Each structure stands twice: as structure tokens, then as C-alpha cells.
Chain A
Amino acid sequence: MPFYNESANPAALPDNKSSPSETSDWHDLTAQQLVRYEALFTLLDDIQGQEDISAIAQQVTKQWKYFANVANWRLLLADENGFLIIDGFRGQATLNRAAETELSLWDQYHWKQYRPTLISVANIDRDLPPPEHLVSKVNYEIQVLPLMRSEKCMGILYVGSRDEPFSEFDNKFIRLLGNYFADRVASLLLQKRALEVLHNKATRDALTEILNRGTIMEQIDTLLSLAKRNTYPLSIIMADIDFFKVINDSYGHQSGDKVLRQVAQRLQATARESDCVGRYGGEEFLIILNHCNTEQVAIAAERFRRAVAETPFSTAGFTPINIPVTISAGTASTDGQMGFNALGLIKQADHALYESKAKGRNRVTAGS
């Protein structure tokens, strides 16, 4: 008796008129699937109980072979950031990200085709080589399954069979798990993305996209207490756009907004990775520099000032206008010894900033 009863007619479901042979066919079919269902259900439970995509992929790669003749596989999933590629082979899963242009020829081809295909490992097109792990010594054929959701292709699943062609049962179980697995991963990606968006909305300034006032104030408290605990220096810079009212009045508020955005972006681009750049108020910015003493902050503030002053700002449009913009800055530092709180530092930097303004703007003054 063959293990996978290929000849059995799946349409032969029992009904009142069915002959005894049809009924036993159905019993046979059900019985043959019991072992597979057992393994599949265990895996579905595991997937449901996990939120980590990598852990889910590990479980899939360990269990799949027990209910379908699958030795190795690749899941290609599209999202707004490009593609997530999950490879399963030798009992392990690996996750990678790629833009569409970075996909292999094979992936690009199937992504554009989105047509289910069965490829025999013996007759591989040399110009279109499959991922290496899908053509190991044991692979017999590769099944390519586009995953369609409301007429859109969300991804491609490739599965490699071991030793022999996929049977009708294999195909059924591959589709069952493949769809479930892909949907679960896609929904986790979406959930992650939604959380990111929410988090950004809550912590970033809507116009300039740098940290908002609430967040930068939280940051300064946190970083300052860390600096105090570990006695290392920390500095801040208060920066303010010079004559911003004049810019608004002469070029219009829309241009004023553009200047604000571009100043914020230049400050962010000039900052080190460990610095925090936030919008403190109207045209006022607060930058926190970790592990940065009085001398270093003077150099950094000068770098920020130049980043703004050296290149005029352009209002992109039909006839772009170049607007010269400068900032004035004031700095304040602590060596990490006790005696300084966030408000004290800000007050000191603010005084220095006013001094810069009073001395003629477009300059940096160290607070004391």
C-alpha cells in the first residue's frame, strides 16, 4: 500500500449514496492525514504563541519536514521597506532584508511572474539559479508559490522537496502552513510598523521630525542622571534662528516652515549618533551632547553654527529663492559632579544664547 495514496480520488467524500469502496477511500485519506495534522497543529500552536518572527521561523524550519516532504524553503515577503527574506535549511532559519533591486535574479523573476511553478532540480535554468540552499544533494524539485491577497502578491514561498516529487498531500499541507505562516509574519511586521509610527508621533515634532519638547526634556533628565552617576561630562547647546520673524514676514510662513525643517535636518545631520537634537520652542533648538566637556562643546557648537550659516537655504519651488540663515548658540556643561539639574543647565545655556544675540548674532557663547 503506498503511503501517499495518489490514486485516491479526493472528490470521493462520503454521502448517503456512496458505495463501500468510496467510503473506505475516504477513511483511507483521513487516516493518512492524521499523523500530519498532529504535527501541523503542534506547529500552529507554537506559531500562535510566539511574537518574535525569528523564533517563529526557527520553529517552522524544525517542524515542517514532519508533515510535508519539505527539506528546505525560502519565504520572500514584501512590505513598505522592501523585502524580508526568511531562509530555512539544515534545521535553522535565517532572516535578511533587501530592497527590490538587491534581490537575486531568481527572486526578481518570480516576484514579477507571480505564477505557481514546479521546477525540477535536474533541469535548472543556469541563467536563473535558485538560492543555493534549495538545491542541496537531497532536493528533487522546487515548488514556487506566490501568496496572493485580494489580487495583490504579498510574497513568494519556495519549498524544496527531498528525494521525490511532492505528493498531493504535501501540496495541501504546504499551502496550509505556508499561508498561515506568511500571514502571521506579515501581521507581526505590520504591528511593529504601526507601533513605530505611533511612537514617532508621540516623540517627534510634527513639522521638523526631530524630537519634540517633551521627549528632549525627558532625555536631558535621563542623560544627566546617568552622567552624574558615572561622573562623566555632559553638555547642552541652545540654538535659535536669527531674525526668524523677518524670514516669516518677508518670504511667507510656508517658507518659514521650510527653513525650520531644513535647519532641524542640518542640525540632526551634523550631530553625532549619541547626541539628541530636539525642538525646544518656536525657532529654538536644544541639543544634548553626552560625554562632552566645555572645550568639546565649543567646537561642536561652532560646527552646528557653520552647518547652518555656510549654505543659504533654498525654498524649493518654481522659482527657488536662496535665503541666508544663521543661528546663535549658547552652551552649558557639567563635569558630572553633583550640583547641576536640567533646569539649571538650560538656564545657563539660555543666558549664553542671549549673550550671542546681544553681541551681534551668528555666534557661539559658552555659559558660565
Chain B
Amino acid sequence: MGHSPALARAYWEKAKGTLFSGRIPLPLKEMIVFVVSSQNGAKYCTACHAQSVLKLDKTLSFEDLQSFLKNDPKFQLPAIYKTVVKFAAAIARDANSVSDADFEELMDEGFSTEEICEIIAVIDMATMFNIYTSSLRLHLDPNYRAIL
């Protein structure tokens, strides 16, 4: 990205508009990025955003996130994340697969349509960075702990 200021700007504007503005709290957004990145097998983004999640939500530990990725039935994500995370993972797998019922479930939980659009935009942004970092095989920064 260092080669093209225009490109860097485009990526940055997308991140700014989705991750750093809007109504949804940052911990939930970071969790979405973490889940989508792991779904996309993006090592760099998954590690980086696992770190962000842990920094923002002190109730979760590195081991919790590991258990979550391993689908350990003993570990349950907090209610705040559960349905949104399920929704994000489903979209990352196949955006065509989400049905009206998935939207209904989120709305029953109290999410407005604007908030659901914001969630989709965060999923989309995560995927954008996932493709970039994975194809360039970005090395992990020494201060990130590998999780994938």
C-alpha cells in the first residue's frame, strides 16, 4: 500500500467509516473482524484483532478465543456477541446463504436495520483487509501472538 497513496487512502477511508464511526460499540466490531478473519483464514488479521478484542473486553482470555476457534462446546461466547458472531461467520462463509430468518433473529434481539447494515459493512471491511494481508503473506508483528 506504501506504493500507492490513493490505494492507502481508499482502504483507510473504508476502515474509518466502518470501524471508527457508527453506533455499534468497538468491542463488538473487533469481535466481528476477528471472527470473519479466522473464517477467511487470515493469519495476520485474526491475530491482530484477537489482540484488540482482548484489550477491549477484559472478560475474555486468549484461551477463550482459542476454544472458540476450536468450536469447544464447553466455551460459550457472551450473549452480547453470540448472534452477531453467528451472523458474521455465516456471511463470511457465503453471503448468499443468509436468509430473512437470520435478519429476524437479529431484530428480535433488538438490532435495528441501520445497525444490521453497519454489521454487514464491518464484515465486508474485514474481508477486504483479509484478502490484502493474506495474498501478500504479511508477517505477524513480533508483538502479536499467532492464533491461527
Contact = CB atoms under 8 A, between A and B. Distances in A.
Interface of A: 1, 3-4, 31-32, 34-35, 38-39, 42, 61-66, 69-72, 88-92, 136-139, 162-164
Given A32-B58, A163-B82, A91 B64 contact: no
A178 to B, nearest CB: 15
A138 B112 contact: no
Nearest to B26: A38
B105 A4 contact: no
Given A162-B83, A163-B82, 20 more contacts: A1-B64, A3-B76, A3-B78, A4-B59, A35-B27, A35-B59, A38-B25, A61-B112, A66-B28, A66-B80, A90-B107, A90-B108, A90-B111, A91-B110, A91-B111, A91-B115, A136-B108, A137-B105, A137-B108, A138-B105
A203 B79 CA distance: 55
A137 B105 CA distance: 8
A162 B58 contact: no
22 contacts: A1-B60, A1-B64, A3-B60, A4-B59, A4-B78, A35-B27, A35-B58, A35-B59, A62-B23, A65-B111, A66-B24, A69-B79, A70-B110, A89-B110, A91-B111, A91-B114, A92-B112, A137-B104, A162-B79, A162-B110, A163-B82, A163-B83
B13 interface: no
A62 B115 contact: yes
A31 B56 CA distance: 10
Nearest to A3: B78
Interface string B94-129: 000000000011011111111100000000000000
Given A1-B59, A1-B64, A35-B56, A91 B79 contact: no
A3 B31 CA distance: 15
A90 B58 contact: no
A138 B101 CA distance: 12
B80 A69 contact: yes
Contact of B109 (A34, A42, A65, A92): A65
Contacts, number: 83
Nearest to A58: B112
A138 B108 contact: yes
B98 to A, nearest CB: 17
Majority SS of interface residues in chain A?
mixed
B66 interface: no
Nearest to A170: B79
Nearest to B116: A91
A61 B110 contact: yes
Interface string B46-78: 000000000011111101100000000000111
Contacts of B83: 138, 162-163
Nearest to B23: A62
Interface centre among A34, A35, A66, A137, by most chain B C-beta atoms within 10 angstroms, is A35
Contacts of A72: 108, 110
A363 to B, nearest CB: 64
B113 A91 contact: yes
Contacts of B64: 1
Given A38-B25, A39-B25, A91-B115, A71 B110 contact: yes
Interface string B14-39: 00000000011101100000000000
Contacts of B61: 1
Contacts of A42: 25
A35 B53 CA distance: 11
Contacts of A162: 79, 83, 108-110
Contacts of B63: 1
A66 B24 CA distance: 8
The 10 A-B pairs of least Cβ separation, nearest first, read A91-B112, A31-B58, A3-B78, A136-B108, A90-B107, A65-B110, A138-B108, A32-B59, A69-B79, A71-B110
Contacts of B112: 61-62, 90-92
